[in-house]
Chains A and B, each alone.
Chain A
Amino acid sequence: MPRDLSSAVVRFAARLRRQGLPVTLIHVTDAVRALEHLDLADRQELYLGLRAVFVGRPEDVPAFDRVFEAFWRPVTEADAVAEALLPSLPDETPAAEREGELARESLALDAWSDEDGEAGDEPLGVPAASEREAMAAQDFATFSEDQLDAVYRLTLQIARRLARRISRRRRPSARRGRIDLRRTLRANVTRGDLIDLRFRRRKRRKVRLVLLCDVSGSMDLYSRFLLQFIFALQSVFSRVETFTFSVRLTRVTEYLRGRSYREVLRRLTAVRDWSGGTRIGESLGEFNRRWPGLVDRRTIVIILSDGWDTGDPEVLAAELLRIKRRAGRVIWLNPLLGNPSYEPLTRGMAAALPLVDQFAAAHNLAALRSLAGTLRL
């Protein structure tokens, strides 16, 4: 293989990476190997071959196409093929354009992070026990900006302690189940008979959570605390899928994966929909259509919203019913429920209530703590 060709592949891979494709060294070596098995004079074949190597999900295809189009330019003379495979483009995509995009992006990302400050990495003091209890009973919305950081920390602390306790409870018990022949035999192999019986316990499978969080208006704050809380609890569940909605539904699971909560909150801002108004029914409908496989009998679906729906309540009821039929349990969290004088009278809430298995507040830490105790099937 010509040296130039391999180095062209390396540069091509670098461009793909710059466009956000998760390209690794494995991909590059595979691509170089793949070229030996492709007809390089056939641009379409080259395209399909490289795509099979570099693209791992359909969403990446448009970016791949753009880079490919610009990099591997077609030529007319067949004997100039090798030369043409060398990139002859100016190295950068229009810089001004890219910077504009970046600036817009970081603008969105900063909107939340500013308010909890940048200096937060050193451990701040943890409130004393009595203070903590008082804090746990206080509605999230009533904290001042400078208190929020301490509340986040406490949320995390409580969630982690709960996670430890829940996983301890899951350890095998002495309860007897079906006899496990395989292990019984193994244990008794030196005896003539089966004396020491071994039992098979049903492996307890963890439940799956699907969170659908309203991020319009005042619900935004509560959604952030709920996400924070579940995020710290997530080792207890087999899988947590998270969506946010206001007018549109957005899947944010990927944004939340393996990051510090500070970063998580920062990332969430990028997907926030500022236009106001909530269409719960439509959002649930979109969830049902696009991710039907996420809900099964082992799944608890949690919806956080005040039920203030600007859409049609019948759509809301129909879509919610669709979820309820498949889910293990449906929990609706309405932070307004924390107010003793609140009555669920909005049309959306009235339509939804008969269809949910559990209706709870989630307006403060105490409420989240008691919620955690119910997240089992």
Chain B
Amino acid sequence: MRDEIRKIQELMEAAEYVTDAPVATSVHLAMRLRKPLLIEGHAGVGKTEIAKVMARMLGTNLIRLQCYEGLDAGTALYEWNYQKQLLHIKLHETSGRSAKEEEREIFSEDFLLRRPLLQAITQQQSPLLLVDEVDRADEEFEAFMLEVFSDWQVTIPEIGTIKATHPPYVILTSNRTRELSDALRRRCLYLWIDYPTYDKEVRIVERKVPGIDRRLAGDIARFMESLRGMRLNKVPGVAETLDWALALASLHADHLDEAVVRETIGCVLKDADDIRRFRAEVQKAGLEPFLHVPS
């Protein structure tokens, strides 16, 4: 293994992020090849976290663009600060300056509101641009973003073209609520994060809930693994695991039994039907099958 990749893994672990070789390798290549990294996976598996850790590793700013339905180029790139412009005009009404001068004045950089994409290309050091939940934005926006990514320059009619001197590192995340375009996928390195394996989940729990009982951590990870194998409407992610582990630790539990699980299952299952189905399962065969080591 390359030292750089091992280093990344160590740095991530030091930043309280439990990682593995696929994550470290992808991050390494994204930094070396300077390509955007598209991270897909279920909600709550720690996609956004990677960007935060990577920014810390690079010692650079994290600029976050949170996507939502209806997000448009204006909101992502720049807007004019019209209140300020208006005020400026009012204040200088009697100054006798020509309209042309006035116009030049109020459409200058002082009156520009930099939104995340513009911020990302006007930094003194390459920042990390996190485009979060890109699947929630429209396809039109995706196309616009590809355009920006291709040459890292933006034209503002009143000012001119701004080209990035330090192009950002880019991480995109998606929950896969819709299929992203092939064009976007082609531009990016790709990382799929699945639910953690048993070992990884134990490590996550032990790392994030210090002092948790060893046996309990193992039970929890095993239980989550079985649970995710059920047909559920809302499959619990790592965030749920941690909520639950914290709750159990504060109850001073040292292993899972039916009573404890019954009282706290709401931390993990958040859909009425799922809870009903789970209870029926436990009624039928007890908790044992959930803690059983799958062959």
**With A and B bound together, what is the CA distance between A239 and B177 in angstroms?**
13
Q: Is the CB of B29 within 8 A of A53?
A: yes
Q: Is the CB of A45 within 8 A of B2?
A: yes
**With A and B bound together, what is the CA distance between A49 and B233 in angstroms?**
34
B154 within 8 A of A: no
Q: Chain A contacts of B112 at CB under 8 A?
A: none
Q: Is the CB of B79 within 8 A of A289?
A: no
Q: Chain B contacts of A33 at CB under 8 A?
A: 33
> When each residue 179-198 of chain B gets 1 if its CB lies under 8 Å from chain A and 0 otherwise, what string results?
10010011111111010000
Q: Chain B contacts of A22 at CB under 8 A?
A: 182, 185-186
Q: Is the CB of B82 within 8 A of A24?
A: no
Q: Chain B contacts of A318 at CB under 8 A?
A: 273
B42, chain A: closest CB distance, angstroms: 11
**With A and B bound together, what is the CA distance between A239 and B186 in angstroms?**
22
> When each residue 26-43 of chain B gets 1 if its CB lies under 8 Å from chain A and 0 otherwise, what string results?
101100110101101000
Segment 62-86 of B: residues with Cβ below 8 Å from A:
69-70, 79-80, 82-83, 85-86
**With A and B bound together, what is the CA distance between A182 and B79 in angstroms?**
9
**With A and B bound together, what is the CA distance between A268 and B108 in angstroms?**
56
Q: Is the CB of B1 within 8 A of A57?
A: no
Q: Chain A contacts of B29 at CB under 8 A?
A: 34, 37-38, 49, 52-53
B10 within 8 A of A: no
**With A and B bound together, what is the CA distance between A156 and B38 in angstroms?**
38
B243 within 8 A of A: no
**With A and B bound together, what is the CA distance between A26 and B187 in angstroms?**
8
Residue from the list B21, B26, B99, B189 in contact with A190, Cβ < 8 A: B99
B100 and chain A: residue at smallest CB distance: A190
Interface of A, helix, strand, loop or mixed by DSSP: helix
B175 within 8 A of A: yes
A366, chain B: closest CB distance, angstroms: 33
A42 within 8 A of B: yes
A32, chain B: closest CB distance, angstroms: 10
Q: Chain B contacts of A55 at CB under 8 A?
A: 190, 192
Given contacts A37-B2, A45-B21, contact A56 B138 (CB under 8 A): no
Q: Is the CB of A181 within 8 A of B86?
A: yes
Q: Chain B contacts of A289 at CB under 8 A?
A: 231-233
Q: Chain B contacts of A52 at CB under 8 A?
A: 22, 25-26, 29, 37, 189-191
**With A and B bound together, what is the CA distance between A149 and B172 in angstroms?**
46
B47, chain A: closest CB distance, angstroms: 14
Residue from the list B21, B177, B182 in contact with A44, Cβ < 8 A: B21
B28 and chain A: residue at smallest CB distance: A37
Q: Is the CB of B25 within 8 A of A58?
A: no
**With A and B bound together, what is the CA distance between A49 and B191 in angstroms?**
10
Q: Is the CB of B189 within 8 A of A53?
A: yes
**With A and B bound together, what is the CA distance between A51 and B22 in angstroms?**
9
A345 within 8 A of B: no
**With A and B bound together, what is the CA distance between A48 and B79 in angstroms?**
41
B139 within 8 A of A: yes
Q: Is the CB of A182 within 8 A of B80?
A: yes
B175 and chain A: residue at smallest CB distance: A293
Q: Is the CB of A181 within 8 A of B83?
A: yes
Q: Is the CB of A294 within 8 A of B185?
A: no
Interface residues of B (CB under 8 A from A): 1-2, 4-5, 21-22, 25-26, 28-29, 32-33, 35, 37-38, 40, 69-70, 79-80, 82-83, 85-86, 89, 93, 99, 102-103, 106, 135, 138-139, 175-179, 182, 185-192, 194, 231-233, 273
Q: Give me the 7 closest cross-chain CB pairs, A-B, nearest first.
A: A293-B177, A56-B185, A190-B99, A48-B25, A37-B32, A181-B82, A58-B192
